[in-house]
């Protein structure tokens, strides 16, 4: 009954969803392309067996890359289809995987669209990355005999409470999954309570996503060329730039500020915000190097470059209740990390980084800026945190091999 009501609500929202695509397409033109795929209609027909991986947006795209590469190597006779839902996710996948996979939009979760998707691609296996459990999609996969693995699965306490409110809709969806690879014991316990079966703790794929050595070298070269300390505000979300800039006040003459917004559609908005504060803005997309003022990171797929260019990184998404952003990337690049209070989407990685001494956490933007400025004045502490972050990433690699093994078991 709840799934029927859910489907009815989705159908009613279709005009708004299409209008939103067109609206977002002003800043991100990819949203206006291949719209028929949102309804389960595709042009090209596969000529090999298909393994399907769904990585909704940028975070999932980056996390999935090691597993996708492992699947390509283990299943050379198959074609890998990777679906996503956001323009930034699709661009990230293109940057990370190039032409080695086929990219497409995942259709909206309508029974007809999902059925057409499955009939067209006929995947031998579906891999949903993190928490992409769509009720009609999962039900259709079960009816069609397509095994589904929830990979790199996480379920925060907040999300678990949300699913519990729609237990009649979410529990059958979780129960229909063939297997679940959870990031941590806490995630596994919440997923089992939500109805999932076959749950195993396999670790976090993000520890296996090694940074690009060329971009690391370029970031270090930029830091050397600037000749001063650098503070990075990484993956910031709406309102956070203003909060952190207010806490920072005047930028010291011997410091350069790097600001990298989380979403491409906000690049121009943040440039205007910085300019309105009287700051000189150099844009990375124009290959600009700031003589003073701020470098705006308005490119995709270069977070390892920005982290390598930073003496200290403040992680965005964590100063409003948004769940935080991926701190593992920063640790893997050797950047000391400062976190805000809201990191519930990365709770286990946050705990490990804090315990290892690779990160510090503050209660608010003012506290985060105080911690960051103190670190900029303490090279020895920065070196210790950098080493701790690199050691943490090294110690927790191996999730890719464990999750690949789960994929191969389902295929057999």
What single string gives the DSSP state of each residue in 208-252?
A: G-PPPHHHHHHHHHHHHHHTSEEEEEEEE-TTHHHHHHHHH-SPP
pLDDT at 253 exceeding the cut of 90: no
Structural fold of domain 213-395: Rossmann fold (3.40.50)
Q: Dump pLDDT digits (tens) for 112-139.
A: 999 999 999 999 999 999 988 999 999 9
Which residue among the candidates 37, 60, 91, 130 is catalytic per the annotation?
60
- What gap in Å lies between CA 188 and CA 82, rounded to an integer? 25
Half-sphere exposure (CA, 13 Å, Cβ side) for 246?
8
Q: Is-above-0.75 flag for pTM?
A: yes
Per-residue confidence band for 287, with pLDDT thresholds at 50, 70 and 90 = confident
CB 349 within 8 A of CB 328: yes
pLDDT digits (tens, 9 = 90+) for 67-125: 999 999 999 999 999 999 999 999 999 988 989 999 999 999 999 999 999 999 999 99
Query: Which tens digit of pLDDT belongs to each residue from 143-161?
Result: 999 999 999 999 999 899 9
- Which pLDDT band, with edges at 50, 70 and 90, does 288 fall under? confident
Spatial contact of 13 and 38, defined as CB atoms under 8 Å apart: no
Respond yes or no: is residue 60 known to be catalytic: yes
User: What's the confidence (pLDDT) of residue 301?
Assistant: 84
pLDDT of 400 over the 80 cut: yes
- What's residue 44's pLDDT? 86
Instruction: Tell me, yes or no, if the two domains 2-204+397-411 and 213-395 fold the same way.
Output: yes
> 149: helix, coil or strand?
strand
Model confidence at 27: pLDDT above 90: no
Q: Give domain limits for the chain.
A: 2-204+397-411, 213-395
User: Mean pLDDT throughout 247-274?
Assistant: 92
What span, in angstroms and rounded, lies between the C-alpha atoms of 220 and 108? 42
CA 279 to CA 271: how far, in whole Å? 9
From CA 33, how far away is CA 44, in angstroms rounded? 15
Q: Band of the pLDDT at 254, cuts 50, 70, 90?
A: confident
Give the long-range contacts of residues 367-372, CB within 8 A, separation 24 or more. 368/244, 368/247, 368/314, 368/319, 368/338, 368/339, 368/340, 369/244, 369/247, 369/248, 369/314, 370/247, 371/338, 372/231, 372/312, 372/314, 372/338
Task: Output Rg (C-alpha) for the chain, integer angstroms.
Answer: 22
Q: Which of 249, 316, 248 is nearest to 58 (CA)?
A: 316
How far apart are the C-alpha atoms of 270 and 251, rounded to whole Å? Answer: 17
Question: Given this model, what pLDDT does residue 65 score?
Answer: 94
| Average pLDDT of the residues of the chain | 94
Q: Does domain 2-204+397-411 have CATH number 3.40.120.10?
A: no
Q: What pLDDT is stored for residue 13 in this prediction?
A: 94
């Amino acid at each position: 009954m709840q799934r029927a009501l859910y489907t009815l609500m989705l159908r009613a929202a279709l005009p708004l969803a299409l209008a939103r695509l067109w609206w977002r397409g002003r800043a991100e033109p990819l949203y206006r392309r291949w719209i028929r795929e949102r309804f389960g209609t595709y042009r090209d027909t596969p000529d090999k067996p298909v393994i399907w991986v769904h990585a909704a947006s940028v975070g999932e795209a980056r996390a999935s890359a090691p597993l996708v590469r492992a699947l390509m190597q283990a299943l050379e006779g198959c074609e890998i289809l990777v679906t996503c839902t956001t323009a930034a996710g699709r661009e990230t996948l293109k940057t990370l995987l190039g032409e080695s996979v086929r990219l497409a939009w995942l259709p909206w979760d309508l029974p007809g669209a999902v059925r057409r998707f499955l009939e067209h691609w006929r995947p031998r296996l579906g891999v949903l990355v993190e928490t992409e459990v769509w009720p009609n999609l999962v039900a259709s996969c079960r009816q069609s005999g397509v095994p589904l693995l929830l990979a790199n699965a996480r379920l925060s306490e907040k999300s678990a409470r949300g699913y519990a409110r729609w237990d009649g809709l979410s529990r059958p969806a979780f129960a229909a999954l063939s297997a679940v690879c959870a990031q941590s014991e806490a995630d596994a316990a919440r997923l089992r309570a939500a109805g999932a079966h076959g749950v195993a703790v396999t670790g976090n794929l993000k520890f296996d996503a090694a940074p690009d050595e060329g971009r690391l070298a370029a970031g270090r070269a930029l830091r050397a060329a600037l000749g001063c300390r650098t503070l990075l505000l990484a993956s910031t979300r709406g309102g956070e730039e203003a909060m952190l800039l207010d806490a920072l006040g005047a930028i010291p003459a011997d410091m350069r500020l790097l600001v990298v917004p989380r979403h491409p559609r906000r690049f121009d908005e943040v440039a205007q915000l910085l300019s309105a504060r009287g700051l000189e803005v150099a844009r990375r997309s124009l290959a600009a190097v700031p003589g003073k003022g701020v470098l705006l990171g308005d490119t995709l797929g270069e977070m390892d470059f920005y982290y390598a260019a930073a003496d200290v990184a403040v992680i965005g998404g964590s100063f409003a209740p948004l769940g935080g952003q991926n701190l593992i990337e920063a640790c893997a690049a050797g950047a000391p990390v400062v976190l805000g209070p809201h990191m519930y989407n990365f709770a286990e990685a946050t705990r490990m980084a804090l315990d290892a001494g690779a990160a510090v956490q503050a209660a608010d933007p003012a506290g985060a800026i105080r911690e960051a400025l103190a670190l900029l004045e303490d090279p020895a502490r920065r070196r210790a945190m950098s080493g701790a972050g690199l050691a943490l990433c090294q110690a927790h690699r191996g999730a890719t091999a464990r999750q690949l093994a789960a994929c191969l078991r389902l295929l057999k």
